[in-house]
A = this chain, B = another copy of it.
Amino acid sequence: MSGPRFEPVRAVRAYERVVEQVEEAIESGALSPGERLPSERELMVQFSVSRSTVREALRVLQARGLVRSRPGDPNGAEVLPFTPAALHKSMTTLARVEELSLAELVQFRMVLDSAAILLAARLRTDEQLAEMAEAVARMRAALELGEDAFSAADVAFHEVVARAGGNKLIQICTDVVRSIVVRLISEKLAGAPDREALMRQSIRHHEEVIAAIRLADGPLAARLSRKAMYDYYAGYVPAAERGVLRALLD
């Protein structure tokens, strides 16, 4: 016979209550990006807590990327528009403490990027298609300009595609993981053999993908994009782990 079901009471700290209330106000839209929170001294009155408690709450909210405070600002903390910064931070942490391999990260990109391309092939506007072509043109021009320009144009291409795919979650996740991958291999990048050949090949691949997108052949575009990413990154992945990447090639 089970008696009255008591719920475990976890001791909830004062600053957590403050965090919850402010968080709720932001997520419900009662506070919009750009608006200001009351000053810390005002908040301590409203919440009936000390300033230390208010400040600990604000630190948490700041760590979650919801607000930002600036010393000397005559207004209170500013409510920020959503940025994937917190997502980025926790994924980076994940990558470090869980020791995610480069193979896993690249595989993740192959999956999500090709999905975005599949969707983009069906949903893209003509304008977006032109943007993609322009980005690839800039990649080609960057052959003369150097690594950074090439990389920037490449990022621009993938951003247009992700946007055209219409799924914000995919868009943000690809973006976050891409930056992690880029940082991981940036040091290896300089000393890599035959960078220029790799870049030329990458450009060809991108052009093939665009052609498939133009024809609205999503599955083909997706397949080509996976192949492109594999060819581009396989050299940086230990040979033993390349098998799991090839599993995604048709």
Which positions in A face B, CB cutoff 8 Å? 11, 15, 26-27, 52, 55-56, 59-60, 62-66, 71, 82, 84, 86-87, 89-91, 93-98, 100, 104-105, 107-108, 111-112, 115, 118-119, 122-123, 166-170, 172-173, 177, 218-219, 244, 247-248, 250
Contact = CB atoms under 8 A, between A and B. Distances in A.
Contacts of A112: 111-112
B94 A87 contact: yes
A108 B84 CA distance: 17
A104 to B, nearest CB: 5
Given A65-B90, A90-B90, 4 more contacts: A27-B97, A52-B52, A94-B172, A105-B169
Given A82-B98, A94-B82, A118 B168 contact: no
A112 B82 CA distance: 24
Given A118-B248, A168-B104, A244-B166, A27 B96 contact: yes
A168 B65 contact: no
Contact of A244 (B71, B108, B119): B119
Number of identical monomers bound together in the oligomeric complex: 2
A186 B82 CA distance: 26
Contacts of A170: 104, 107-108, 111
A93 B97 contact: no
A130 B244 CA distance: 22
Nearest 5 CB-CB pairs, A to B?
Answer: A86-B90, A111-B115, A63-B63, A27-B96, A87-B90
A247 B117 CA distance: 11
Contacts of A250: 219
Nearest to A111: B115
A119 B87 CA distance: 25
